[in-house]
Amino acid sequence: MNATMADRERQLLHQVTTLAQALHQERERLASRLAELELELSVLASKLDGPPAVCALGTGARPRG
């Protein structure tokens, strides 16, 4: 019976280790994605701080006047 308990403990430790590795990899992936999004946000913010752009209506209609 001790062998069975030891086997279960080993399996549990293996599963916990595997899960910890997967969580670490996911954390690294998310950290990388966050860095990409922060850079993109910085670029967009700098565009907002720049000179104003001319906006055109998408209808193609010209104003009457």
pLDDT for 65 beyond 60: no
User: Where do the structural domains in the chain lie, given as residue ranges?
Assistant: 1-45
Decide: pTM greater than 0.85: no
The predicted-structure confidence for 12-64, as pLDDT tens digits, reads as follows: 999 999 999 999 999 999 999 999 999 999 999 998 887 766 666 666 555 56
Single-letter amino acid code for the residue at 24 = H
